[in-house]
């Protein structure tokens, strides 16, 4: 998995195409919303919390001329409730295109990282394809925790 280093989605896709490696674009579409009074006062209830719901994921090979609007249209056809997408890129060391099976493994890892707040190295984009700056706190998973 590579880190994001581009001004926008189109720049990122173009960098992937021009790199000499075949890349697969990875997308996890989420719904983000504020939750007020998530905890009782004195236990952090004075602060607003944010809820993140993973809705679905997708992947596609990076190609010349890719646009965020085409990604948005495809995503909306599946579920229009998303308001943010987490974007990652994958490549193989031999410059071959990562397979669909490899992409699914990367996406599973991305989903888990999103749920605990470990999103460094990914691009977060709103519905207009604009980068979103967020602060996260990694929430450790204990032995008794369950993620559905």
DSSP-derived pairing of the beta strands 49-61 and 23-35: antiparallel
Q: What is the pTM of this model?
A: 0.81
Q: What is the pLDDT along the chain (148 residues), one digit of tens a residue?
A: 444 566 789 988 999 999 989 999 999 999 998 776 655 666 555 566 778 899 999 999 999 999 999 999 999 999 999 999 999 999 999 999 999 999 999 999 999 999 988 888 899 999 999 888 766 666 665 655 555 4
Measuring CA to CA, which residue among 63, 71, 56 is closest to residue 18? 63
Convert 95-139 into a string of H (helix), E (strand) and C (coil). CCCCCHHHHHHHHHHHHHHHHHCCCCCCEEEECCCCECCCCCCCC
* Per-residue pLDDT, 135: 66
Measuring CA to CA, which residue among 108, 85, 113, 79 is closest to residue 28? 85
């Amino acid at each position: 998995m590579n880190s994001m280093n581009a001004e926008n989605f189109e720049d990122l896709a173009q960098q992937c195409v021009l790199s000499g490696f075949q890349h697969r674009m990875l997308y996890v579409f989420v719904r983000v919303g504020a939750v007020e009074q998530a905890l009782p006062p004195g236990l952090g209830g004075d602060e607003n919390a944010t809820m993140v719901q993973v809705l679905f994921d997708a992947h596609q090979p990076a190609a010349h001329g890719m646009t965020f609007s085409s990604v948005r249209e495809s995503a909306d056809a599946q579920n229009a409730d998303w308001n943010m997408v987490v974007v990652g890129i994958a490549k193989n060391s031999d410059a071959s295109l990562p397979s669909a099976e490899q992409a699914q493994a990367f996406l599973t890892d991305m989903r888990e990282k999103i749920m605990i707040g470990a999103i460094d190295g990914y691009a977060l984009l709103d519905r207009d394809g604009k980068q979103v700056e967020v602060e996260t706190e990694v929430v450790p998973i204990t032995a008794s925790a369950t993620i559905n």
